[in-house]
Structures are given as C-alpha cells and as structure tokens.
C-alpha cells in the first residue's frame, strides 16, 4: 500500500513544502493539496517548489476541476512540471465543489468532467485533442505521462470513474462504503471493456494518532461536514432511500443545516456540528497506531492501493512521524 499526504495550501507556502519534505522522509510516496483558488494559495506554483525539494514524491491536486482553468492550461501546467522534474504528477479531478461554489458557479456536469479527463490526459501526454471544437496539441511534450484519478461518490460519477479515469479517489475510509463504491467503479470499468484491476484505488481521510479519542474526533469532525456537503447533493439528486446511494452514507446528514465554505476542511468547523462521533470513527482513522494498521489492512484487502492522510488538525508533524515510524513500515509497499 502506498501513502499520501493531503494539505491545504495555506500561507506560508514554505510550511507546505516543509511538511511534504517531512512526509517523503517518512516514507510517503504522494503529496496532495486542495485546489480552490479563492480559499487557498494557488497550488501549482507550490508544486514546483515541492518537486524541487523532494526526490521521488508524486504531486497533484485532490482535486482540481474542469471549470477553474481552461483544459489546455491545466494540461500544459502538468506537462511543464513533468518536463522539469520527471513524470511525478497526478491529476486528481472532480466536478468542483468549493472552487466553483465560492466563486458563485455551479459544479461542472459529469459530461463535461468526462470530456475534460480525456482532453487533459491527451494534451499532457503529447497527443492531439479537441478543445471547444479546435484540434490542439502541445508540440513540445516529449514522453509525458499524466495519470488522471477521479473523485466520486454517486452512482453516475462512480460509473464515469470506471469508464474514463486511471484511478478512483474516495474521500472517506468506511470499509462498508469503500467496498460498495470500489465495486461500482470496477464493474463500470469492466462494462466499458477496461481492466478493472488496472485502476488505482485511493482512499483519502483524516488520520489522528493518539489515545485521546474525544480530542481526535473533535479535530477531525470537519471531515464529516465536508463529505456531507457532497452527500447533500446526492440526496437532492436521487432522494432519500432511493437505492441509488447507500443509506449508510446518507442517513447522518438529516440534521445538516447548511455549509459555510470559510471553514472548509478545517478543525473546529461549526458547519460540522451535526456530525456524530460514529461517523467520525467510521470515516476517519483515529487512535493508537495499532488501530490505524488494523483498519488499513481491511481497506487494503478491499483493493485500496493508497491511503492519503488528510493532515488538517493540531498534530500535523506528529501524525506524519507516527505514520513513518509505525504505520508505513507495517503496510508500505
């Protein structure tokens, strides 16, 4: 199993770079950041510094979207980083939540997302692609490689990930839901004539190592609020108890009263007050190292290739070090 570190690009950027260097020293192979240009600093600028200050770490957004930047700009940015530092980038992509809504726009349609996946990958790898009816190619790309991993929750999005993406990003660590969603993605890949085992499966969730579970839960409760924001979209689209989305995912948002993006992804987010302890325990990894290892073994047995640690809480360095000392040696590939 591979391990990744997920951060927000809060200033100063030097701290983001420092934490990524620390992660690589501790055996992490991937470094991810949020991508929302209003809420945080521009990640692609910081990626250049992370890549320059690490040797093997693979870097990418968790996740970008097809609406914030034009597709040729996104592809050219990835291709430029790959040309400078070797093929060490991954394009995590989704419909766009905070990046679009904070700017007053709606998330992208799945049709647009599916088209963007193909175009961004083709352009970044040096092939011709059509953008707004115009055939384009980046003539300077030589030997470029850009895996595109898609984030998804709902049935149509899961199907699209299986049909189009090189990897699937699931932003929660509940084994029951992981099994259901990974199965949906792989079934879609098989229906599309693709090798379902060729898709990389990445589970991303907060991890907090320590004995004080009450404190750990409070530090990670924001995640249930963030996931609930996506789940509310699914309930609005499919309804409750529709059979399209597991009740285990939708039941907990009944007490949700809205969402304030100014606290997005942060410990102490008041928009996450509705999230019960049970959901925090199911969606996150909490407790001593042995508890993390046990849950990660379960996820690995379900086909998860990478666990990406959301490290937005008051123990960032301690979590990275604990994973490097205890967890990664027990599970690392």
**Contact partners, residue 258, CB within 8 Å, separation at least 6:** 271
Q: Give the pLDDT of residue 240.
A: 67
* Distance of alpha carbon 167 from alpha carbon 305, whole angstroms: 10
Q: Give the pLDDT of residue 259.
A: 67
Residues 130, 201, 10, CA angle at the centre, nearest 5°?
Answer: 80
* Distance of alpha carbon 100 from alpha carbon 156, whole angstroms: 20
Per DSSP, the residues of 152-210 read --SHHHHHHHHHH-SEEEES---HHHHHHHHHHHHHHHHHTTS-GGGSEEEEEEEEEES
Q: Give the pLDDT of residue 242.
A: 66
* Distance of alpha carbon 315 from alpha carbon 216, whole angstroms: 10
pTM: 0.93
Low-confidence ranges of the chain (pLDDT < 70): 238, 240-242, 257, 259, 332-333
* Distance of alpha carbon 220 from alpha carbon 214, whole angstroms: 10
């Amino acid at each position: 199993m591979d391990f990744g570190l997920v951060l927000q690009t809060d200033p100063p950027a030097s701290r983001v770079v420092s934490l990524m260097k620390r992660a690589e020293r501790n055996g992490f192979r991937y470094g991810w950041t949020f991508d929302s240009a209003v809420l945080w600093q521009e990640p692609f600028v910081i990626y250049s510094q992370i890549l320059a200050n690490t040797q093997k770490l693979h870097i990418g957004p968790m996740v970008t979207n097809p609406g914030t930047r034009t597709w040729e700009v996104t592809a050219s940015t990835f291709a430029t980083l790959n040309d400078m530092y070797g093929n060490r980038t991954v394009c995590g992509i989704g419909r766009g939540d905070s990046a679009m809504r904070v700017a007053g726009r709606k998330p992208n349609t799945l049709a647009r997302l599916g088209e963007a996946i193909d175009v961004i990958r083709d352009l970044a790898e040096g092939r011709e692609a059509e953008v707004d009816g115009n055939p384009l190619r980046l003539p300077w790309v030589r030997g470029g490689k850009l895996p595109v991993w898609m984030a998804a929750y709902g049935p149509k999005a899961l199907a699209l990930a299986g049909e189009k993406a090189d990897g699937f990003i699931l932003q929660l660590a509940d084994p029951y839901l992981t099994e259901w969603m990974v199965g949906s993605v792989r079934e879609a890949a098989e229906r599309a004539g693709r090798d379902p085992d060729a898709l990389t499966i990445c589970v991303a969730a907060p991890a907090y190592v320590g004995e004080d579970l009450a404190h750990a839960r409070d530090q990670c409760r924001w995640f249930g609020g963030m996931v609930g924001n996506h789940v509310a979209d699914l309930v609005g689209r499919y309804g409750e108890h529709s059979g399209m989305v597991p009740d285990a995912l939708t039941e907990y948002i009944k007490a949700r009263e809205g969402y304030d993006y100014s606290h997005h992804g942060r410990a102490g987010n008041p928009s996450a007050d509705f999230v019960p302890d049970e959901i925090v325990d199911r969606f996150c990894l909490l407790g001593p190292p042995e508890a993390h290892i046990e849950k990660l073994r379960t996820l690995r047995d379900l086909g998860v290739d990478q666990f990406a640690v959301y490290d937005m809480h008051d123990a960032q360095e301690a979590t990275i070090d604990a994973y490097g000392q205890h967890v990664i040696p027990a599970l690392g590939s």
